[in-house]
Structure 1
């Protein structure tokens, strides 16, 4: 028995060590639970609440509206019932579901990259080291396998490309399961398009078609289309509403601004797909090319992948160039669908490049093995340092429990004393999804899509404040995904703790429009000194020792919507 364990450790110690590192990386979620610091942007301020609302509504397959948000949020704007995260949030508490998602993401990212790199590199330490660094990247949490699962998907497609119908059945099965753990619109529509291009190029080059590869691409695409049936139904069969995305007006960068955006994305990446490649990976790739030149080598694959990533950054930058407005203004799909998101393929490509560069140094540089091990350790440390708990605790951001402050909002609910479905609230100086998480029916929101007509009506409420701040006005009018109660003097700051010295003494909202839309109460994280000028009656403030907020409750004066 001990001999068998010894053999397993001897043969797979690199994998076991990598899994141990990932387990330590994940440990804050399991040890701290709701006291963990996790990302706010496009996470606690949105996706976690969307999943929770959908899970609690029970409207998985229904096309009915969710009444909790904007007097009726179209069901098609939320996750599909075939999204595995919906069921995690249905079966478990939100933080537990989040932890499960993080665990799947990290281990799938590791093993997928490991299997992929093993095709090109024989050093198990390079393969394991680069794979564990990739697995610890600060992926967008709600993406699950949308980015982290790309190496696994690529490995499976290459396996089917090489072996055709002889590829193992479990490769096919895994490939067909990935759609339930990932997002088609975010990444896989582009990834599958590239797989289709590879199939077509192979057909032209080798004069025969690989029908197994074609079937794999077609089957995976079909599963994604079935999974996203609600969006397809809404777009092409029964739209039901005109989305606010139809009025998007993004992309007015000058040529110089576009060039700067290219270099910014190529060198540092995007907030949702950061590869943390600036200070170690890029220099290593540069050194690898120098070593290749001195050794008269042709690192063709490394050069091709580097140029591919440069092309992705260039496409991303030019998508926001003012010259593209001609196309976007005349082709609805170009305006409503973000084709620049192909840059989400960046992290996978950067880490393949990193592994190839390290392999070149390993073989052709004096003391190469020692240098490579040190570089891998340095990169792993740099990404581990961005672990959510470490990063957001360091930045002074709230924990999961502090952000949602359930006990505090319970006391507000109890004070109001009515069923939450009987009144509507808006939030000032904080994210409206906090109120949504705590069961309140909100008129403000953050969603990827909602009725354009509602946006226009809500905008009337905040129009006086937008008039004071051109930046906010442009932010709302050109995009508007965040339909917040903006205050000119606060800008795009949405977290104010109870020790804040900020006071709102120049607030100017259209209270008639708020009342007409059904607003009954205003929840503010800051005191509104001129509340009477805005026809708001101060009720009382709420705070406790556990919450980071002090919430000021104001009642909208006038006859409530449900009595009119």
Structure 2
């Protein structure tokens, strides 16, 4: 290839890169422009993590000892270890910036590094041809725009950068840059919710390389160990809890393997095409048909040997869905009952590897179409653009436009009125919520008996259950939901089911509430915050104090006092 031609390709690729960076900036810009009027995901985000950061920082226990507890939550029974390490980048953002700005910065940092990591990986190890710059850039861009779980930071979207660094070290390239990458990533990602699965997969890769090359591959081995040690140091609280805690937690009653064989097979294909809510790749609309057409071309052209990576990616993508689905198969139950770590740790999460695998597969599929003939090159460009179009509605401002904004959800002004009406220091009384997430009261500084957390004492779960035992007896759905998981330690009501999003527009009324108010009082509960009216409040020793309705709040709050 002539130098002038190479220069032309490089200029084009730089143009593509600038365009991609501009699109990422536009993608995250609404958080900074709209502020608290921005929309964002509620599940495992507004209903939990965002409030957790504020509670943790306000508690004064951010750097607290291993034995520290959070007094604001469940009467101080919640361990400091239940929240993120103080060394996580996400925590630092929320320490120094307003919540929406911190969230927006996290989105920007994660998506930019995701783009960089995938681009570097593709350029050096997958799509190496000079004239395929468009494929490298568009595959990296689409990967960076996927609707990832923001509180995981780079737990999934940082994997391509880590893989690039490991391969560099293995090949004696860019060693210092790669070591710095492996050093910093653990401070902006999680071990338990992402990189445990990546690093264990890298361990398998190392073993395969040892067998294949008949060499020890020590550089790769020690780099994997090095990154693992840093993760364990960053997440020292979780490590200490795992090794030394003797108290049973709600995870001890996490009964997850309940699907029969037919349900398991259905789940394979549901996960394969749709994915999991924490690592959606939006694979089914464009990438799957693109990869299928590429596979047909490979079969027709008998290019099996030349396209080993492509075939391997297809297999890995499907097998990860099989693994995920069979983790919930009821056949596992007897084994999980005997080996506690199989209950307390979710090994199904190897599916977190799928976004990286899917978008590398997308890049390779586009390359196969691109090189097949000129007609299919046009199709490759079309598929790439179509995937960008598919991703646009996943932007949180579009996807969640029918849900409350940040300001409406947390209803700060409305809760100021509630606290002023009660007129006591918040640490002097305890509240529970009905029909809305406890995280809202927690975000506003109230001390709650209810919570959303996967790591709290089993004894507290059993104690809290007594409050709503009559309600759980009315509904097998909410009874099993609480008893067989309990992460949402909520005051469930059979008439509401598992719905905790009753807006001020709701006409729902609780007609037959049946709770044990004496247990509630014994636990210190003095107020009930309900998003819907309770018709038989008197029968439950509850007295309506006042109805709060603020223009900028999503909720109408009925404040009941326990009498």
Distance 2:314 2:60 in 1: 46
Q: Does 1:227 align with 2:234?
A: yes
Structure 2's unaligned 5+ residue stretches are 1-7
How far the C-alpha of 1:11 sits from its partner, in A, is: 5.3
Distance 2:214 2:371 in 1: 37
Alignment match, 1:39? 41
Distance 1:206 1:498 in 2: 66
Distance 1:204 1:132, change over 3 A: same
- Once structures 1 and 2 are overlaid, which stretch shifts more, 509-518 or 430-439? 509-518
Distance 1:296 1:303 in 2: 12
Q: Does 1:142 align with 2:144?
A: no
How far the C-alpha of 1:9 sits from its partner, in A, is: 6.3
Computed over aligned residues only, the root mean square deviation of the Cα atoms, in angstroms, reads: 1.4
Alignment match, 1:169? 176
CA contact (8 A) 1:55 1:87 kept: no
Alignment match, 2:21? 19
Structure 1's unaligned 5+ residue stretches are 1-5, 558-564
1:112 to 114, 117, 121: 117
Alignment match, 2:353? 345
Aligned to 1:426, what secondary structure does the other structure show?
strand
Alignment match, 1:412? 418
Distance 2:489 2:326 in 1: 27
**1:82-97 alignment to 2 at 5 Å?**
82-97=87-102
How far the C-alpha of 1:366 sits from its partner, in A, is: 3.7
Q: Does 1:502 align with 2:511?
A: no
Aligned to 1:538, what secondary structure does the other structure show?
strand
Q: Does 1:188 align with 2:195?
A: yes
Q: Does 1:102 align with 2:100?
A: no
Alignment match, 2:400? 392
**1:500-539 alignment to 2 at 5 Å?**
500-539=506-545
1:78 to 80, 83, 86: 83
Distance 2:106 2:81 in 1: 23
Q: Does 1:126 align with 2:111?
A: no
Q: Does 1:461 align with 2:467?
A: yes
Q: TM-score, normalised by structure 1?
A: 0.95
Distance 2:400 2:365 in 1: 32
Distance 2:9 2:549 in 1: 59
- Once structures 1 and 2 are overlaid, which stretch shifts more, 485-494 or 403-412? 485-494
How far the C-alpha of 1:10 sits from its partner, in A, is: 5.2
Q: Does 1:322 align with 2:343?
A: no
1:484-527: CA deviation from partner (whole Å, max 9, x where unpaired):
11111111111111111111111111111111111000001111
Distance 2:246 2:205 in 1: 38
CA contact (8 A) 2:545 2:561 kept: yes
CA contact (8 A) 2:9 2:133 kept: no
Q: Does 1:213 align with 2:220?
A: yes
Q: Does 1:430 align with 2:439?
A: no
How many residues align? The count is: 547
1:203 to 196, 210, 214: 210
Distance 2:35 2:9 in 1: 36
Q: Does 1:179 align with 2:186?
A: yes
Alignment match, 1:288? 294
Distance 2:93 2:60 in 1: 13
1:418-477: CA deviation from partner (whole Å, max 9, x where unpaired):
000000000000000000000000000001210000000001111111111101111111
Q: Does 1:382 align with 2:386?
A: no
